[in-house]
């Protein structure tokens, strides 16, 4: 294969992977009665605990109006609760309700089950290599992104370091 064809194959493979996972993700969260965007908010709040609205919006990479709309629906469903920030009365904090914690766990369980099903279709001897390769790919994307747009996507990468999928900036490019 010509070296020039490799970037096109990579783009096509990533595009296909993203589309297929997006379809699967919509199906996974639909069973729990939330949208993908709402599931992302539940996931972030489940992982981080109560957050200021602005911090949650940055973490999710969405506009304040979109966040407010999604949280309004989650609040109406009894999945999140909003309150005044004890440290800054001008700010609001949002947290999962007991029902929200259950919903976040249900979405996470669905996603874990699907990931397990995907891995089960890969020969056992190659699974670790495939997962590690995805981590390397993500690290390469992050490095390339940092070169063109320093810091632009750091808020979207929070939480990926502990899974080994996105090295911390200090470790960027380091071999594992």
Chain center to CA of 47:
11
Range of lowest pLDDT (20-29, 35-44, 55-64): 20-29
Residues 56-74, mean pLDDT to the nearest whole number = 92
d(CA 80, CA 9): 42
For residue 95, list its beta bridge partners: 81
Domain 1-121 of CATH type 2.60.40.10: no
So where are the chain's domains? Answer: 1-121, 124-176
Q: Is the pLDDT score of 148 beyond 80?
A: yes
Q: How confident is the model at residue 170 (pLDDT cuts 50, 70, 90)?
A: very low
| Close Cβ partners of 139 (under 8 Å, ≥ 6 residues apart) | 166, 167, 172, 173
Sheet strands side by side (includes 80-84): 51-52, 92-96, 80-84
**Please, where are the H alpha helices in 31-123?**
36-48, 53-60, 64-76, 98-120
């Amino acid at each position: 294969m010509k070296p020039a064809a490799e970037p096109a194959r990579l783009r096509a493979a990533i595009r296909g992977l993203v589309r297929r996972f997006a379809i699967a993700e919509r199906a996974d969260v639909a069973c729990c009665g939330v949208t993908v965007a709402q599931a992302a908010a539940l996931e972030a709040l489940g992982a981080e605990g109560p957050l200021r609205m602005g911090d949650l919006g940055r973490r999710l990479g969405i506009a304040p109006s979109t966040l407010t709309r999604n949280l309004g629906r989650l609040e109406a469903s009894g999945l999140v609760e909003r309150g005044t920030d004890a440290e800054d009365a001008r700010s609001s904090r949002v947290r999962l309700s007991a029902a929200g914690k259950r919903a976040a766990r249900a979405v996470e369980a669905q996603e874990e089950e699907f990931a397990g099903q995907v891995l089960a279709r890969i020969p056992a001897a190659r699974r670790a290599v495939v997962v590690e390769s995805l981590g390397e790919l993500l690290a390469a994307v992050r490095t390339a992104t940092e070169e063109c747009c320093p810091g632009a996507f750091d808020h979207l990468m929070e939480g990926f370091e502990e899974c080994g999928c996105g090295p911390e900036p200090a470790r960027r490019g380091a071999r594992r």
